[in-house]
Structure 1
Amino acid sequence: MKNILVALGSAKHADALIAQAVKLAKLTDGKIWILHVTAANPDDFLALEAGPQHLYDERVESRKKKTAFIKQLAEQIEKNHNLQAEGILVEGSVSKAIKNKVQEHNIELVIAGHQKKDFLYELFTANKKKDLVDELQIPLLAVPIKA
């Protein structure tokens, strides 16, 4: 597996998910892509006018922190494990972002956290239209995580 995508939903689960990705990437000299998806940010002028400025500022600051965190995770993988890694922060739908990155980077494995009633659990198993796993047509490694 040359390209492994870690779908990171929460910073508190990053270590467990990345540990699994590192194990597998070492076996194949693969690259690790760390993906975190945030809510879309209203960038147009009318959307900014619709709400208080402090809420917009908080979202921007939160996004900056998340971007820095994802970048730091990738740098740690490269430094500590001598593997290629890249962090990606995307706005919008989680399932669409995962599908797009799988296609864009020729991802061969998606690693995601799993806990009962977890958002990612629902994303991969309760999609009434079609399971994301079926749509991706690649393996998914569900890593058990504690709440």
Structure 2
Amino acid sequence: MKNILLSLDFNGGETILVDKTLEISKKFNSKVWLIHVASPDPDYVGFDAGPQSVRDNRANQLREEHQKLQDFANELTRESIKCEALLIQGSTVETILKKAEKLNIDLIIIGHEIHDFIYKALFGSVSEGLIKKTNIPVLVVPID
């Protein structure tokens, strides 16, 4: 298992996921790819990006998310794990799968939170989407 992809969404539980990834990557001497998939910008393709204040706010949000991702990568690096952090905009499941294929990923690690029926109906489940659409093993870690 040479390459592990850890997907982080910054909704809580990141420490649990990073710790589990650290444990596995140490055992297999794996490289870890941290990925955060940010929503596409602009949210509605074909429309103007909006006023400068909205664009500035979005840019600040992306910088903060990238910094969080880099902080986790630095944490893994301090533990002698080869690690790279990637912040990508796009559709979550499809973006993770494309990147996993491109990077020759051997294991995808993702967190799972229990959501109610309405949330699942509106947004779906990333972990379920990944499991259905890939042949790469997916480790789903409960973070509730």
How far residue 11 of structure 1 moved from its aligned partner, in angstroms, is 5.5
Q: Relative to structure 1, is the Cα distance of residues 57 and 69 closer, same or farther in structure 2, using a 3 angstrom cutoff?
A: same
Partners of 2:41 and 2:89 within 8 A in 1: yes
CA deviation map 1:73-122 (0-9, x unaligned): 1111111x101011110001001111111111111111111121277971
Matches within 5 A, 1:1-147: 1-10=1-10, 12-42=12-42, 47-48=48-49, 51-79=50-78, 81-117=79-115, 122-125=125-128, 131-146=129-144
The answer for unaligned runs of 5 or more in structure 2 is none
Secondary structure of the structure 2 residue equivalent to 1:107: coil
Identity among equivalent positions (%) equals 28
CA distance in 1, matches of 2:39, 2:81: 30
Cα RMSD (Å) of the superposition? 2.1
Q: Which amino acid in 2 is paired with 1:53?
A: Q
TM-score (norm 1): 0.83
Q: Which segments of structure 1 move beyond 6 Å, counting only runs of 4 or more?
A: 118-121
Mapped contact 2:7–2:108 kept (Cα < 8 A): yes
